Amino acid sequence: MKTEWESKVGITINEFRIKRMKTLWGSCNIEAKRIWLNLELAKKPPSCLLYILVHEMVHLIERRHNDRFRELMDSHLPQWRLYRDELNSAPLAHEDWQY
């Protein structure tokens, strides 16, 4: 999925990692072109993972959540707002659940 979206967005990611994060779904380092994704995304629908991946890739082009960022998201992933809302309606983690 990463390679496919690198060509669609028009950027190259130097490093792509997954780790457990307490407060973020993803993050990026613009200078290093590194993207981190939250391990908890594995428990969410694939559309949520796609949204965060593209979101962080677009941040490698535009740092802020400004008009340019939204325009880039609209052009690369037109339904991103639906995916964002779906993800934001779910808790980040279920640490207090008993199995």
- Binning pLDDT at 50, 70 and 90, where does residue 34 land? very high
Instruction: For residues 86-93, give the mean pLDDT.
Output: 79
C-alpha 56/C-alpha 14 separation (Å) is 13
Distances in Å between the alpha carbon of 50 and those of 31, 37, 75, 89, 99?
A: 22, 11, 15, 16, 28
CATH number of 2-88: 3.30.2010.10
Predicted TM-score (pTM) of this structure:
0.87
- Inform me whether the pLDDT recorded for 99 exceeds 90: no
